[in-house]
Amino acid sequence: MGRLGSSTLLSLVDLATFWLYLEHFRLSGLLVGTAFTIGKLVIAFFGWYFGYLSDVTKSKRWGRRKPYIFSGSILLAFSTTMIFAPDFFVPTANEVFLFLYVTFFLSLANLSYGLLSTPYMAWLAEIADPEERVSVSAYQNAFAMLAQVVGVLVSFSLPLLLEGGSSQALWLLACLGAFEVLLYLPAAFTIREKERPIPKPNVRREVAIILGNRNYRSWLALQGLMSMPTAILASLILSYVQNVLTLVGVQYMMVGGLMLLLTIAFFAFWTAASKRLGKKKPLVASVLVLTASLPLTLVIGQPVLGFVPSALQASFFISLVAAGISGWYLFPSPITADIAQQDEMSGGEARAGSYNGLVSIPLNVLQSLARFISGFLADLPAAEGRSYTAGMLLWGPVSSILLLPCLIVLAKYVETDPLVRQQARP
């Protein structure tokens, strides 16, 4: 349930903040982009550090994770609301003040999300049994997908809200922030953590132990590599459907709804497959589907398929993308939890927070690079005889090429079911 609130706020930050400061407050694009980059660097570090802190925290009353989850949810609600209210606190005509304001609160929002989400995701290794984790991840991702819908709707309604004055948008954001905090309260008050062996508070030692895990190093590399093509996809697929397939209005919303429903439906499919085959085969299959489908951007919406209605072409393409991307959304959390549990079984210390948090470093750094690549592709010259840029056709093949090393690392170097292998040892 908590993912619904926090992912809604994160979606708003990702989708609406750039537009708000660039178009509404007229801050230069370079300064807005710099503010976002600083925010990503903040979560790259603190996403890991708060996981480590939650590992070594001792609290008999609250457990290790709950203090961070509760305080992070409140701080995320506050910082997100403040992002959308600069005209109440600084002179928005002054670029220096406006830049410092958005940079501070974007950084605070990213820090808050790391404070909240890393300890929260660490629970997967501690309160769910191995055979439950893929199903639990499916629930989490379903709520996160629903949050994207809410975030998109609020983001697209923001210009209309601002026409009636900033106070309307501020009240809406404050209500969403309060809703986010409330959604985490059931977990904070009802989940009971088991007593676990706590690592000694030593940052250098913890990093050395974690990076000494060969399988985790490969898994860390894979998640960093996967963040690039998936970030490019997330950045450009809506523009592709709108500009290349020329879908607007109801058809555009229907295609978006189809992607949401199919992604959630494939969670159930990949979950069932993992129970029979283990996690690797379904995960490899999903990435293969994504790799094979993305180059179709060169064909879908082009004259060679002019006899096929655009809505049908879009539905076919979106279905393939949903089948592929759903597997990647589903499996990383349970695989990380299994790796953390294997470490605890062999070393006698529970450090799921550090295992979940360290991923944020390569993931956010490479996501920043992917956003730059997306902008470069979007700014390419117009395709011959078309009103859209060549990048609207090339982002699919580029993403597919970036997926090839991911498939190699996944197939050859990552053990996705480490607990099964450990239990099979004499």
pLDDT of residue 164: 67
pLDDT of residue 423: 53
Counting as low any pLDDT under 70, the low residues of the chain are 15, 29, 152, 155-156, 159, 164-165, 197, 201, 421-426
pLDDT of residue 79: 94
- 164-187 pLDDT tens trace: 667 777 888 889 899 999 999 998
Question: Which CATH code for domain 1-130+140-191?
Answer: 1.20.1250.20
DSSP 203-251: HHHHHHHHHT-HHHHHHHHHHHHHHHHHHHHHHHHHHHHHHTS---HHH
pLDDT of residue 137: 87
pLDDT of residue 373: 81
d(CA 368, CA 36): 9
Please count the other Cβ atoms lying within 10 Å of the Cβ belonging to residue 60: 6
d(CA 381, CA 391): 8
Enumerate the domain spans of the chain. Answer: 1-130+140-191, 202-419
pLDDT of residue 421: 60
With CA atoms as reference, report the closest residue to 69 among 105, 112, 35, 13: 112
pLDDT of residue 11: 79
Q: Compute the CA torsion angle 382, 387, 391, 397 (nearest 10 deg).
A: -120
Q: Which residues have CB under 8 Å from 265's CB, separation 6+?
A: none
Check for a shared fold between 1-130+140-191 and 202-419.
yes
pLDDT of residue 123: 86
Please give the angle made by the CA atoms of 232, 238 and 242, to the nearest 5 degrees.
135
**Of the CATH numbers 1.10.760.10, 2.40.50.100, 1.20.1250.20, 1.10.510.10, which one belongs to the domain with range 202-419?**
1.20.1250.20
* pTM of the model as a whole: 0.78
Cα-based distances in Å from 365 to 64, 116, 225 = 28, 20, 11
User: CB of 399 within 8 A of CB of 410?
Assistant: no
